[in-house]
Amino acid sequence: MSDKIEKTDAQWREQLTPEQYQVCRRRGTEPAFTGRFHDHKARGVYRCVCCGEALFGSEEKYDSGTGWPSFRQPVADAVIGTETDRSLGMHRVEVHCNHCGSHLGHVFEDGPEPTGQRYCINSLSLAFETG
């Protein structure tokens, strides 16, 4: 996907569940160990729930023990954008879908090799396609 998606707040509210809207459009988070993809092991592609952009392959998913789906790296660097997040008195790096701006979660520098990164992603921001 190349063109950025822009929708009104009302359009996003109509498309998403209230929980998805809170996470994706209001930068919320789901409670640890509650997301449907936390312990998900099927092979396929995790896509943005807002626009369908392919974000993470199942081969990059691993159990970080944090309670959220964790990935070593996205399918391509260009699909993920980052911003500094200083909310809640912390300094973190927020990750979002570059195609529609949906909040996905955060990336940390404490992941496994070979990338050393841990993309900690909310299940509510993802859709899954078997493949």
Closest CA to 125 of 50, 62, 66: 50
Burial (CB count within 10 angstroms: exposed 0-12, middle 13-18, buried 19+), residue 85: middle
DSSP state of 68: S
The answer to whether 74 and 119 have CB atoms below 8 angstroms apart is yes
Which residues are part of the catalytic machinery?
A: 120
Residue 124 has phi, psi (to 5 degrees) of -65, -20
Amino acid of residue 102: S
